[in-house]
Every structure is written in C-alpha cells, then in structure tokens.
C-alpha cells in the first residue's frame, strides 16, 4: 500500500502537536510540517504568557472548555515525562469592588461546571494568604493553574515528529495550495510538495493560507499587540503566582494581569492595541499590506465603531507608562513605575467575523482533504495535545478518509 503523506502548515505549538499526534497515531503516515521561519514556535507560541490554563472562564460544553480541561492534563503528563518545567503556582482572580462580584460568581459557576479542581472562593482578607501584596473585595483561587515553557514544549513536539519518521521543513513559506485529483499540493517560491491530506494551522496568517486553499474570507485575522512590563528583579516578591482581573465579558482579552514565569520573572500585561503588521511586535513595525488587509475587512470597521472608546483607552495605556502601571496597581497597590521595565510584546491572531464579532471559540473547517484551523485562541497552547488528539484519534469529517486507510 502506498505511503500516505500528510502536510501540516505551521510550526507553532498547535501545528506541531497535530503533526506529532498524527505521526504517533498512524505509524504508516509520512508527516511533514512546513513553516516559513528558521525555527519552530517563532510567533504566538514564543511570545505568550506561558500559562497553562485550568479552564475557569470558558462556557461549559464549548470546544474551548472541553479541549482546555483535557489538554492541561495531557500537557502536565508530557512535561513530567520530558522533564520540562511545569509549575502549579496557582491563579487568583480578583474582584476589585462590589460591581465585579456578579462576574466573579459567573466565573466560579463556569469553572465548577468545567470540573476545575481545588477552587476556593476567598474574601478580601483571605486572599492575602495567597498573595500578600494584593487587594480586592473577593477572589477565586485556582491552585492547579500552572506556568510552563511553551517554546520548549514545541521543540519537544518537533523532535517527536522527527523520531516518528516525519520532517519539519523550516524556511518553507507556503505561497500556493492546489488540488490535483485526490492530492493536495503546497508550494513555496522554490519547491512544490504533494500530500494526501493537508492541515492548515498558520496562526497569524491562518486566514490567508486558508484562502490559498479556496476557503472563505471569513473570519479574518486582525492582529492585536499585547504589550508587557516586567518587574525588576528586586521586586518580584510582590507576586507569588498569577493575579488576574475579572474579565470584561464583551471581549476575549483578559486585561492587564500579573504572570510569574518559569525563570522566576514576573510580567505585567498585556494590553490589547491594534498591531500595524501581522508580526508587529514593536510599535514601529508597520507593514502596509497587513494594515490594508485590516482596514478593508468589514468586520474591523464594525468593531472599531462599536468599541472605539475601549480602543482609545488601550492606546493611552500603551503610550503612557503611568497609566499602564495604574491599572496594575489596582491589584497590587505597592507597585510603582520604578518597579517595572519594558518586556517583549506578543501579537494575538484575533479572528473577526464580517459583522465585527470577535470569534471566541476554536473554528475548524474542512475542504475535502484539507483541514483549516481558522481560529485557535487562548487556551490553544494549553489545549494543543487535546486538539491533536481530536484530529488524530477522533477526526472531524475532513480527516475521516485518512483514518479509513
């Protein structure tokens, strides 16, 4: 029987997890990962907060909730098996005033329904037992929320792909996708490869690569830069674990929070400002083609009209350090501008529908032999092994034929 060839576009943590899952589930497959960069985990995977989410916020029964709960268990086992950092430092979600208590109760309801273990509701006085320098009227404590090194996990996934007989082809930018009978071709400017199946998991460029395959324009990716500050080493004792706000239910962004890292540092952020390039990690990064794609998307114009006040507030926090720190100080009053220094930013691939709706759950589509992952928002890194399991072991329709072979 002829060898079955599967291509995966994207060497971020989700793409690599899928490639690994397919290679391990079906030893007869020949799996090839394609990525335009010279190393894996170059973008969202390598620029995120490093939090393994326990599943507090997500609507019970949603794909986010299901994959997150399954994914964090698989991730914990994987890190233990590979001796990779996995620290259950815990998360404290703090209601700053009485107006946020109702939203905190809803988070507790969702977390309980999702089966998040060890939850504790705390009063304002009791929360200082967890975070001595924090303040608020109430809090929800999740002791199993963890921090990990996601780029290290992604590199381990890549090694597993290679050990299973697959290949990670770096420096291969997919500029054309075609169909030839029951085969799929993926071409770079210099080379064309042929596969029996193709999985598109291109992160910040997921909409563009999906369109190369003939998929619909919607949803489009609007890039939002998340900017961080970092506590100076002498002040990292202000935070023991993770301190999060009660999120605004209108947005998938969580707002400014405190995140301990596996190296011992503590980051503060992110905000959410429009990036002027898909890979616009710095304010000066501007790519006219990317900006034009953003502006001409009808969903962006609807979004901007609907939420311009929030956007202006985020821009002010980006431009004025004291405003950014003031937001963080509402959780840790001792914080001063002298306690922080700029940290590397990330860019979120926010999928937006034509009506301006922010897509908040995973979206996976199918075009015959092609599977398109059009939206993989947080907690995608936490959920990566569960996403791979879904595709490799309980395949949606786009991969059914692969598993009948």
pLDDT by residue (tens digit) across 66-85?
999 999 999 999 999 999 99
Across the chain, mean pLDDT equals 93
The pLDDT value given to residue 182: 84
Q: How confident is the model at residue 399 (pLDDT cuts 50, 70, 90)?
A: very low
- pLDDT tens for each residue of 291-313: 999 999 999 999 999 988 888 98
Mean pLDDT of 247-256: 72
- pLDDT tens for each residue of 188-225: 999 999 999 999 999 999 999 999 999 999 999 999 99
Q: How confident is the model at residue 392 (pLDDT cuts 50, 70, 90)?
A: confident
Q: Does the pLDDT value for residue 62 go beyond 60?
A: yes
Q: How confident is the model at residue 253 (pLDDT cuts 50, 70, 90)?
A: low
Greater confidence (250 vs 402) lies with 250
Greater confidence (393 vs 272) lies with 272
The pLDDT value given to residue 400: 39
The pLDDT value given to residue 251: 62
Q: Does the pLDDT value for residue 394 go beyond 70?
A: no
3-state secondary structure the chain: CCCEEEEEECCCHHHHHHHHHHHHHCCCEEEEEEECCCCCCCCCHHHCCCEECCCCCCCCCCHHHHHHHHHHHHHHHHHHHHCCCEECCCEEEEECCHHHHHHHHHHHHHHHHCCCCCCEEEECCHHHHCCCCCCCCEEEEECCCEEECHHHHHHHHHHHHHHCCCEEEECCCCCEEEEECCEEEEECCCCEEEECEEEECCHHHHHHHHHHCCCCCCCEEEEEEEEEEEECHHHHHHCCCEEEECCCCCCCCCCCEEEECCCCCEEEECCCEECCCCCCCCCCCCCHHHHHHHHHCHHHHHHHHHHHHHHHHHHHHHHCHHHHHHHHHCCCCCCCHHHEEEEEEEEEEEEECCCCCECCCCEEEEECCEEEEEECCCCHHHHHHHHHHHHHHCCCHHHHHHHHC
Mean pLDDT of 44-72: 95
Q: Does the pLDDT value for residue 249 go beyond 80?
A: no
């Amino acid at each position: 029987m002829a060898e079955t060839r599967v291509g995966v576009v994207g060497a971020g943590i989700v793409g690599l997890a899928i490639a690994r899952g397919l290679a391990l589930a079906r030893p007869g497959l020949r799996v090839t990962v394609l990525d335009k960069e010279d190393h894996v985990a170059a973008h969202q995977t390598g620029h995120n907060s490093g939090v393994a989410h326990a599943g507090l916020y997500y609507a019970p029964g949603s794909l986010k909730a299901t994959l997150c709960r399954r994914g964090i268990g698989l991730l914990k086992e994987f890190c233990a098996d590979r001796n990779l950092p996995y620290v259950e430092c815990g998360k404290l979600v703090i209601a700053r005033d009485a107006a946020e208590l109702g939203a905190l109760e809803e988070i507790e309801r969702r977390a309980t329904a999702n089966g998040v273990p060890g939850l504790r509701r705390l009063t304002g006085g009791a929360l200082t037992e967890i975070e001595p320098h924090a303040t608020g009227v109430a809090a929800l404590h999740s002791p199993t929320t963890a921090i990990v090194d996601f780029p290290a996990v992604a590199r381990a996934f890549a090694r597993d792909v290679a050990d299973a007989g697959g290949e990670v082809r770096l420096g291969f930018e997919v500029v054309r996708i075609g169909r030839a009978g029951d085969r799929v071709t993926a071409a770079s400017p210099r080379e064309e490869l042929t596969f029996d199946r193709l999985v598109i998991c291109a992160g910040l460029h997921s909409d563009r690569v999906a369109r190369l395959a003939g998929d619909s324009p919607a949803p489009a990716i609007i890039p939002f830069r998340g900017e961080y500050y970092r506590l100076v080493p002498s002040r990292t004792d202000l935070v023991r674990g993770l301190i999060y706000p009660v999120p605004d239910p209108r947005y998938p962004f969580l707002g400014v929070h405190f995140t301990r890292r596996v190296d011992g540092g503590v980051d503060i952020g992110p905000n959410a400002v429009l990036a002027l390039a898909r890979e616009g990690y710095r304010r000066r990064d501007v790519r006219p083609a990317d900006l034009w794609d953003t502006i001409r998307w009808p969903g962006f114009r609807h979004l901007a009209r609907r939420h311009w006040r929030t956007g202006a507030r985020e821009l002010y926090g980006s431009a004025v350090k004291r405003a950014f720190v003031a937001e963080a100080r509402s959780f840790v009053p001792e914080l001063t501008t002298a306690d922080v220094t700029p940290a590397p930013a990330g860019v979120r691939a926010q999928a937006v529908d034509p009506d301006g709706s922010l897509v908040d759950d995973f979206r996976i589509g199918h075009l015959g032999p092609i599977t398109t992952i059009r939206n993989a928002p947080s907690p995608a890194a936490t959920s990566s092994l569960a996403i791979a399991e879904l595709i490799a072991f309980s395949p949606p329709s786009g991969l059914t034929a692969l598993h009948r072979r």
